[in-house]
Homo-oligomer: A and B are copies of this chain.
Amino acid sequence: MSDEIHEECGVFGVFGVDDAASLVALGLHALQHRGQEGCGIAAFDGQMFHHERHMGLVGERFTGADLTKRLPGRAAMGHVRYSTSGGSIAQNLQPLYADLQSGGFAIAHNGNLTNARTLREDLVAEGRIFHSVSDTEVVLHLIAKSTRNTTVERFIDALDQIEGGYALVALTNKKLMAARDPLGIRPLVLGQLGDHFVVTSESCALDMIGAVFVRDVRPGEVLVIDSDGLRSYSRVPERRPRTCAFEYIYFARPDSVIDQIGVYESRKRMGRILAEEHGADADIVVPVPDSGVPAAIGFAEASGMAFELGIIRSHFVGRTFIQPSQEIRDMGVRMKHRANASVLKGKRVVLVDDSIVRGTTSRKIVRMVREAGATEVHFRSASPPIKWPDFYGIDMPERDKLIAARLDDFGKIADELAADSVDYISVDGLYRAITGQPRNDKAPALTDHYFTGDYPTPLVDFDRGLADKERQLSFLDVA
């Protein structure tokens, strides 16, 4: 039920092609699953920067025959931002743009810094003025104030001061630059369209514009693309990326390949291994759509049970469907998921979902499946129990809302979900599904703290008690 967690963004940049902004719009559309709140594009036409940021979907905002008139130029970059449930804050949309002494500078990022509050406090103490609460603006100030000689040096100077998980893209009047965090927590790939380079969060965005995948950006690598071609700077010794496991479990599109591992196949393997670890004596395997479908296919194949669309998902649910009375609100789960009674009736059902977060929606789905006539409901999660908060760009409920953090026993969770049984893939099972190997506790191949509590970087703001300050600031800044 990973609908209850969200990632904060996707990025896309291209250099040297006609109608660059159109390609960015297509690429961002391919990344729309990474963020639906808002989107932005910055383009440079050789003389001036052009810049638009909007609430809403890419396909609604960056459309029309006049797009390349609004955003002309052969270099452009853009960003999609995820949908918060609370008030939307337009000034946090990206890319940010500033007119630095060196000229125009646009920047956008996916991820989260673990020392952003600390850096921000220092910058404000120097009299620097912030106009958003985004971490990206911290990076922008660090670049603006750097006294290094070249733009690339100032960019790297800023990167050397930040901690966390990120994929950054920046555009100047000469260059497109991109950077991935030193552990490779957030994904970033390099592609090629003819002779021209593209950087973006996921390979599916390369496919969208017909670009060829070149390689994943390396942990700590900085790419600089300009009319001379591509240069690479390594900020850390070469290492294998410790990619965020949730990219494989939920965030990434199934047709993406991240750090050489196909997302769809890894999900199917999670289902297969889940079936092996925690099979159930049942009649049919039913996914919680859409995110549970690949794992359910794998589970069905491994278990030999029939795969059935026992739950139908509606794609017409806007975020604003507010109902007047409690009684009617209780029907709310059906707005998104509805039981397919003729499939479920009289059957022993294995429900397969990608994860269980709070458990509230899972409980409603179990009840709905029972009401539709299922005689038994066994709930299986394709990720291990989620017990720890994230600080690298995933928006997740607080710890005491996580059912697996609250309840120490799968039986109790089954009781709360009113399921006949509840089981999760093991951490080693997850690793085997993604990497082919069990977890190496000395050098884990994935970022996995939400399951293990093993955070891959220092938590600077958190340790200083600053991690939660953001929300308050955001109210202050309302425009």
Assess the B339–A66 pair: CB atoms within 8 A.
Answer: no
* Closest residue on chain B to residue A325 by CB atoms: B19
Q: Which of A20-65 contact B (CB under 8 A)?
A: 22-23, 25-26, 29-30, 32-33, 36, 48-53, 57-60, 63-65
Contact A97 to B321, CB < 8 A, known contacts A23-B328, A208-B338: no
**A contact face: mostly helix, strand, loop, or mixed:** mixed
Q: Which of A255-314 contact B (CB under 8 A)?
A: 255, 257, 262, 264-265, 293-294, 297, 301, 306-309, 312, 314
* Closest residue on chain B to residue A121 by CB atoms: B101
Taking the complex as formed, is A335 at the interface, i.e. its CB lies under 8 A from any CB of chain B?
yes
Assess the A99–B207 pair: CB atoms within 8 A.
Answer: no
Taking the complex as formed, is A315 at the interface, i.e. its CB lies under 8 A from any CB of chain B?
yes
Q: Which of A97-149 contact B (CB under 8 A)?
A: 97-101, 104, 124-131, 140-141, 144-146
Q: Hey, which chain B residues are within 8 Å of A331, CB to CB?
A: 26, 208-210
Assess the B312–A130 pair: CB atoms within 8 A.
Answer: no
Q: Hey, which chain B residues are within 8 Å of A204, CB to CB?
A: 312, 338
Q: Which of A79-101 contact B (CB under 8 A)?
A: 97-101
Q: Hey, which chain B residues are within 8 Å of A467, CB to CB?
A: none
- Listed stretches A184-192, A346-354, A384-392, A471-479; interface member: A471-479
Assess the B309–A297 pair: CB atoms within 8 A.
Answer: yes
Assess the B141–A124 pair: CB atoms within 8 A.
Answer: no
Please state the number of chain copies in the assembly. 4
Q: Hey, which chain B residues are within 8 Å of A308, CB to CB?
A: 297
Q: Which of B22, B104, B124 contacts A328 (CB 8 A)?
A: B22
CA separation between A476 and B42, bound complex, in Å?
A: 11
Assess the A65–B324 pair: CB atoms within 8 A.
Answer: yes
Assess the B51–A316 pair: CB atoms within 8 A.
Answer: no
Shortest Cβ gap from A51 to chain B (Å): 6
Taking the complex as formed, is A443 at the interface, i.e. its CB lies under 8 A from any CB of chain B?
no
Taking the complex as formed, is A341 at the interface, i.e. its CB lies under 8 A from any CB of chain B?
yes
Taking the complex as formed, is A2 at the interface, i.e. its CB lies under 8 A from any CB of chain B?
no
Assess the A254–B312 pair: CB atoms within 8 A.
Answer: yes
Assess the B51–A328 pair: CB atoms within 8 A.
Answer: no
* Closest residue on chain B to residue A133 by CB atoms: B99
Q: Hey, which chain B residues are within 8 Å of A475, CB to CB?
A: 48
CA separation between A190 and B101, bound complex, in Å?
A: 40
Taking the complex as formed, is A380 at the interface, i.e. its CB lies under 8 A from any CB of chain B?
no
CA separation between A254 and B146, bound complex, in Å?
A: 53
Q: Hey, which chain B residues are within 8 Å of A477, CB to CB?
A: 51, 97, 99
Assess the A26–B335 pair: CB atoms within 8 A.
Answer: yes
Taking the complex as formed, is A323 at the interface, i.e. its CB lies under 8 A from any CB of chain B?
yes
Assess the B60–A320 pair: CB atoms within 8 A.
Answer: yes
* Closest residue on chain B to residue A147 by CB atoms: B127
* Closest residue on chain B to residue A90 by CB atoms: B479
Assess the A59–B294 pair: CB atoms within 8 A.
Answer: no
Taking the complex as formed, is A237 at the interface, i.e. its CB lies under 8 A from any CB of chain B?
no
Q: Which of B60, B293, B341 contacts A318 (CB 8 A)?
A: B60
CA separation between A314 and B262, bound complex, in Å?
A: 18
Taking the complex as formed, is A67 at the interface, i.e. its CB lies under 8 A from any CB of chain B?
yes
Q: Which of B52, B58, B64, B207 contacts A322 (CB 8 A)?
A: B64
Q: Which of B22, B255, B262, B321 contacts A338 (CB 8 A)?
A: B255
Q: Which of B63, B314, B478 contacts A321 (CB 8 A)?
A: B63
Q: Hey, which chain B residues are within 8 Å of A124, CB to CB?
A: 99-101
Taking the complex as formed, is A342 at the interface, i.e. its CB lies under 8 A from any CB of chain B?
yes
Taking the complex as formed, is A343 at the interface, i.e. its CB lies under 8 A from any CB of chain B?
yes
CA separation between A296 and B75, bound complex, in Å?
A: 43
CA separation between A166 and B264, bound complex, in Å?
A: 44
Chain A interface (Cβ < 8 Å from any Cβ of B): 19, 22-23, 25-26, 29-30, 32-33, 36, 48-53, 57-60, 63-68, 97-101, 104, 124-131, 140-141, 144-146, 204, 207-210, 253-255, 257, 262, 264-265, 293-294, 297, 301, 306-309, 312, 314-318, 320-325, 328, 331, 334-335, 338-343, 473, 475-479
22 residue pairs from A and B, CB less than 8 Å apart: A19-B324, A19-B328, A29-B321, A30-B314, A57-B318, A59-B317, A63-B322, A97-B477, A98-B129, A98-B131, A99-B124, A99-B476, A104-B476, A127-B144, A127-B145, A129-B141, A207-B338, A207-B339, A254-B309, A254-B340, A264-B342, A265-B343
